[in-house]
Amino acid sequence: MKVTVLGPWGGYPKVGEASAGYLVQSDGFNLLVDCGSGVLAQLQHYLSVEELNAVVISHYHPDHIADIGVLYHGRLIQSKIGKELPELPIYAPPHDKAEFKRLSHEPYTVAKPYKEDEELTIGPFTITFLKTKHPVTCFAMRITDEQTSMVFTADSSYMKEFEAFARDADLFICECNLYSHMDGTAMGHMNSTDAATIANSANVGTLMLTHLPHFGVLEELEDDAKKYFDGEVVLAKSGLTWER
């Protein structure tokens, strides 16, 4: 499994970069996890829009779905200039009917529902979901292929349930929108201590801090996390890859 960070920023992208987006690849299959602002531009450093096989969306905040419309345009334009493309499935929570419907631009993209209590198979990946604590309905995901597992918290404040959900994951991509002295409970976000505490209890391999804040000194997030977690800690960065 190879994971490439397309967008490490929370809320909105820094200049020339992107908000939430991760390319997850295995066995020649290209899965995009979240499609925030600027993700389509970043994606094209690695793949053309035609090469994408599926998309899965955690929730309907703009920093996670802003580029869905231009992804549709990309598929449409490439189809019109003669490339035969299958409909691109975009897996998403169906509870918000208007938002869910907006993902479909058939025959170029099509929204497909996932459910928290059902395992989803996409290409070589099996995906399970966990509802998070966030101002809008949002789902964390655990993605496994035959050898490797990664967990992405999406957006959430601290929840004890992440420990079981992330148990022994090789890679734990945890949102870390806040510094250790800040309490994210009301905002629906976590700080570096929250992230590392979960990583430690869940016994994950690598902790990747992401959904980064636009203020402060980012290295402090990493330094704080290392106090609570003995494994590898990395700060998400545009183009950073992880492979096992």
- Residues near Zn ion, by CB under 5 A: 61, 63, 155
Minimum distance from residue 61 beta carbon to Zn ion (Å): 3
Minimum distance from residue 88 beta carbon to Zn ion (Å): 22
Total Cβ atoms within 10 A of residue 95: 13
Minimum distance from residue 94 beta carbon to Zn ion (Å): 18
Checking phi first, is residue 43 left (phi over 0); if not, alpha (psi -120 to 50) or beta?
alpha
Of residues 75 and 189, the one with the C-beta less far from Zn ion = 189
Of residues 110 and 187, the one with the C-beta less far from Zn ion = 187
Which amino acid makes up residue 237? Answer: K
| Residues 127, 29: Cα–Cα separation, whole Å | 14
Of residues 1 and 23, the one with the C-beta less far from Zn ion = 23
Minimum distance from residue 145 beta carbon to Zn ion (Å): 26
Nearest to 127, CA basis, from 154, 150, 105: 150
Q: In what order do the strands lie in the sheet with 241-243?
A: 109-113, 88-92, 54-56, 29-33, 21-26, 2-7, 241-243
Question: CA end-to-end span of the chain, whole Å?
Answer: 6
Rg of the Cα atoms in the chain: 17
C-alpha distances out from residue 96 to 59, 135, 192, Å:
10, 14, 31
Minimum distance from residue 135 beta carbon to Zn ion (Å): 7
Minimum distance from residue 189 beta carbon to Zn ion (Å): 8
Of residues 20 and 150, the one with the C-beta less far from Zn ion = 20
Of residues 162 and 228, the one with the C-beta less far from Zn ion = 162
Of residues 1 and 138, the one with the C-beta less far from Zn ion = 138
